[in-house]
Chains A and B, each alone.
Chain A
Amino acid sequence: MTLSLEKKIFAGLAGAVLALLAIGATTWWNASRLVQTFRWVDHTQEVIRHLGDLLNEVLTMQIGARDYVLTGDDTVLESYRRGAANSRHLVGELRRLTVDQDAQQQHLARIAPLLEEAALKMQERIDVRRSSGLAAVAALPPASAAAVAQIRREVGAMHLFEEHLLATRSAAVVRNLELTMAWAVLGGLLAILLLASAAGIIRRDFRRRRDAERALERNRATFESLFENAADGLVVVGHDGHIVRLNRTAETLFGFAREELIGMPIERLIPDEFLHAHQQHRARYMDAQRVRQLGGHLGLQARRKDGTVFPVEIMLSPLETEEGRVIMATVRDITRRKAAEQRIAQLNDDLQRQNDQLAVAVKELEAFSYSVSHDLRAPLRHIDGFANLLAQHAQEGLDETSRRYLDTISRAALRMGRLIDDLLAFSRTGRTPVNVAPVAHHDVVAGVIRDLQASAFPAAPAWHIGPLPTLPGDEAMLRQVWFNLLENAAKYSSKSPGPCVEIRAEKSADGAEWIFSVRDNGVGFDMQHQSKLFGVFQRLHAASEFPGTGIGLANVRRIVSRHGGRTWAEAIKGQGATFYFSLPVDSAKVTASARVGPAVAVLS
């Protein structure tokens, strides 16, 4: 069970108060017992006093009687009578006072007859003295001395008993007093503790309250500063549609001074054409529970002091304040954004137009390549066909030179056919979409080498293949890249002694791409011609020396660049060449490059 701090404090205080009450009650009870004990002590002392008085009165009675016997003076009889009466009275008093003490009552029971006996004897002597004179008294039996002595002993015993009682009761008083004091001290301490903790709690609460007030003040200042310095114009409107509050930006925005705006109906800031709609909607805005965004697409406008209007975007936030519900309008001047949007729209239109033009260009190029494919090949077929037919037809009628001419015509036609086919293939490389999937380059290279080994070269090279990565790309296209590069390497090294081709791959310094290399020990090339290497129909060697159409490396460059990579080469004439290409690791980059679009690819 968890209790809040406040409840804990309350429970603690209640406990302390209960403890204080208990202590108070105990102390009160102790004190009343003390009073009671005090009374008993008083009572005992009273008894002791009465005992003393009794002895005195008995003595007074005895002395009075003896004085009369000796003097016969009647006046002294008075003290005898008084003593006797007082003694009897005191015995009665003592009986009453010690009614709870059986021992004392027994003493008193013995004292009363002794007293009567002594009084009787004294009265007898007084009577004899009066009637018969002093000498007659002497003949009487011994006087009351024995009874009086007996009374003294009894009173003494009683006295002793009371003394003892007094001692006991005094000790009880002391004990009670100490207990009462202890409880009082305990109560006092607890009260001090309670006061101290109460003071602590009050102090802490006070401090908290002060901190909270300071934080509130800071928040208020922060809000004030935020409100005043907001980039947007802030206008607080009361329920009656009059401006209650605003910030600096709003002043600048509307061109009014603050004093002018405060209390002004909000409608003054709204252009006439929006007034009707605003009046219709204002009540609804006022009752809205949530923030309402009036975006720029609504084409809202606001009016400055000078009557000019500007496009705005408005956010209406309902606020509950002490003065009731108000609406805070955040007004943003979107003049510049509108202009920018217009510019963007303009640019988009331009781009769209250019794109359309490009699409038309692409269509034309496709038509062009179609007619190249169809119409240029037909005459070549005819040239070769009829040259062959001529050779067949003339049979033995042709001499060696004529046959060589016909052969040359045929071979030229066939070569042009190959050039057209390659050119069309190259054009297709630019138009075919790149299907990006993981490509295991090691497997691709192994497959290409298997194919190449089947084709005849003067001397097949020794292949050295390093570890090759798997990267995103179009497998069919990349296979074309490897085929062209490896075929070139095999072709151009085929005339070297011990032809050898090395295939390697390493990651670039920044790790963003892999760089592949194909190194051969073939004829190489002059580095000053390297700019021609990757161009269409550019060749650095005679077709008679190394056959080829000059399209392979152009295709390599186009495919690699559609994968977001680069191509380059290094060579020393007569000592072999190294061809490089790079491919990005990130498939997103490959896709982005591939998407450059058929138009650009065809035009490049």
Chain B
Amino acid sequence: MNCRETENALQKYLDGRTSSVSATIREHMTDCPDCRELYQAAQELTSALEALPRPQVGSLLTQQIVASVQKDQARIQRTNLRFRQSLGGLAFAAAILLSVLSYLVIPQFWEATPSKQPIAKEKAVANDGPQSIPAQVGEAAPRKPEVLRPHKDPNQDLSPEEELRVKFVEAGSAVVKLQDKLAKQTQEQAKLLWKVAQADNFPKLTLVVKVDPAPNAINPASKSLQQAGAGVTTGFRTVTDSAQRAVSYFARTIPPVARQPQTVQ
């Protein structure tokens, strides 16, 4: 038995796995004052640890902890709600941005694409007569802007919450107007193209009319132009619908505002 083995036995004793040391260790400690002193200290430590006073928790600590936990959880819930609201606002802003970008980019695309000219020309020829085409082009697309108005008497006083809703509905209407403006621009461009096609120095138009005036031969081109127009309308309708949905969602997520007492003057 040596000091290392004695130390291991001492650790087992302190672990509580043994209640006393073996005879061989006793024999070693008789001859080894260091190990004997260590063992004595371990015994003192064991008894002192049992008598060591446990830390006393303050009487108010529980209430403080519970209050801070509840406050923290309420704060987290508020943060989550605010995040959802800002997400709705972000969707609304994105829809507006998309609408504006579409408005800015699409006309440039139409102007920069020369292949659109023959299509417009063919559509013009496909109709009853050259002189009536501009009027028909102008009549084909017109659509009254669907201005959304709140079903509310304008003379009636509105609460702050209702006023806010009205403003957002008006913002949605502005998007619809924007789409309508774009459609009108497209019509104007089509009219312009038609005028170019009617010019005397435009040989292809004359050639087409003379060679094959039958409407059936031109109908496919007319259909493709109609499909293109319908495609543009459908594309913008998606953007408009998204904007309207964003406006509705944002209006729904607005927390109710308490009505301010009105003072009678």
Chain A bound to chain B: no
Residues of A bordering B, CB below 8 Å? none
